[in-house]
Structure 1
C-alpha cells in the first residue's frame, strides 16, 4: 500500500510539473587543456576562460556537451573557472586527447553514466540522462568525427567519417523505435552529401536522425547555407557542429524538439566568409569577441520539451530499484558498486567481461529496503585491464553498467 501511495504521489508530481523546457548545447572548445606551456612561457594558461564563461552564461544551457577536452585536469578547470556551481559532470572516461564531456544542471537531471563506443579514428560517447521531474530519459550521443586536412586531399578522411557513422548507426539501430535520443557534436563534414551524413539520416532502417533545420545540403563554401555554418569563428564557411534528433524526439509526446529553437550562437546568417565580429555594434561585439577568443567553433543549442509521458511500468521500476555507477571509474584494483531498493526483494548482482562471461556473483540474496554498497576487487580474479560490466537483477527489473579497470 505504501509503495502504491508513493507511486501515485510521483505521478501527480509528474502531472503538475510537466512540460519542462530544456536547453541543450554542444560546443567544441578546441583542445581545451589547463596549461599549454611554450619555451618562452612555460606556465601559459591555454584558453581564455573568462571568454568561455561569458559564452556559456549567455546561453545558460541546462545540459552542455563539450568536445576536445584533453583530460581530467581540463574537466576540473572547467568546473572551477568556467561553470557555475549548479553544474555537475557525468562520469569522465578518458579515451584520448579529444574527449567529450557532459555537464548538467544537477537540480534538473540525473546522469546514468558515460559509455564509450569504439569507432574509426575516435570513439563516440553515450550519455543517458533522466529528467528529475518528468522522469523522461534522453540518450545523448556525442561525436567528433575525423578532421580534415587543410593542405591535402580529404577523400580518406571522408571515408573514415563514413565508417564511424556505420558504428554510430549500429548502436542507434539497437534502440527501440520510440527511444528518445539525439546525436550532437563536431561532425567535421564538408558537405551534406558526405557518406557520414547520408548514413546517419538513412530512413531505410531504425536508428536514423533528422536535421531540425531541414538543411542537409552542400553547405561547404556555400552562402545559401550561411545560417548553418559553425566553422571558423573568424571565417564562417562550413557546417561542422550540429544537433540531430531521433524520430521519437521529432514526434509529439515524451521528449519533443521545440520548433525553430535550433540556434548557432553568434551566427546571424550575414557573415559568410567573414569573422563573426565584423561590422557589429559594441554591444553585439562582446559576444562575438568572446566566441572568437574561446574557440574556433561556434556552439549550437536547441530547446526540448520534456512532457513526462514515461511509461508507468518504467517509472515503477526506476523508483523501486536503482543501480549506481561504480566509483571510482576507471579504477585500479578496487571499486565500490552501490544500489538501492525501496521494498524487500531478492537481488542478484553479477560482474561480466566484455564477451559476456560471468566473472563473479557479488550478491545473491534477499535484501530489505535500503541503500547498499559492495566492494569489487579485480586483483582477486587476475583480470586484465579493460572494460567490464556489472548487472543488477530484481524481480522484473534489470540494469547493466560499464566499468573500466586499469592496472
Structure 2
C-alpha cells in the first residue's frame, strides 16, 4: 500500500489519512478498503463505499465526536483540489495546509480543480439516485449571470439553487431535497435547469427515500 500511495495527495482528518489523485490497479483496490463503520460515538472517516483512496474525485463521510475537526492536507504536482461542504462552502487545497471544522458529522465532496473551462456545461448530479443530498456541478467559460433551478415533472418550480453573477470557473451546488419553503419533497424524478444568457441545459435526477 505504501508504494502505491507514496506519490498520492493526502488529506488527514484528526490525523487519519485518506489518499487521492493516484491510480490503483483494479487487482489491488480491495487492499484499500476499510472495515465496517465503528459503533456510534467513535470517530470515523472514509470515502463513500468504504475506501481509503480515490483517483479523481469522491465523497468523504465523517463522524466526529470531538468539538472540532482538524483537516490537514498535502497536495503534490502544483495541483489545486476543491473540498466542498454540504452547505456549499468551498476550500481550495494547494500545497500544504490545514482547515478547522466544527461539524460533528456530514459529507464533504473532493474534486480536482482544472483550468478555466472553454465552454458551458452542466454535469449529471452525483450521486444519482440520491438521498438526502446530491451535488450538481457546472462550468462557465466567462463571467455570466446564472440561474440554477429545480422543477418537478409537471414543470413547477421546486426551488432555486443559484441566481447570481459568477466569474468563469467550475462550481458545485448541493440540493438537500427541500423546496423553497424548506419542506422535504417526495421521492421521484426532478429536473434541474442551468440558464445563462448564452446557454441553457436541463438534466434529470432521481430522489429516492
Same structural fold, with TM-score higher than 0.5 when normalized by the shorter chain:
no
TM-score, normalised with respect to structure 2: 0.42
Specify which structure has the higher proportion of strand.
2
Higher helix share: 1
Larger of the two Rg values belongs to structure = 1
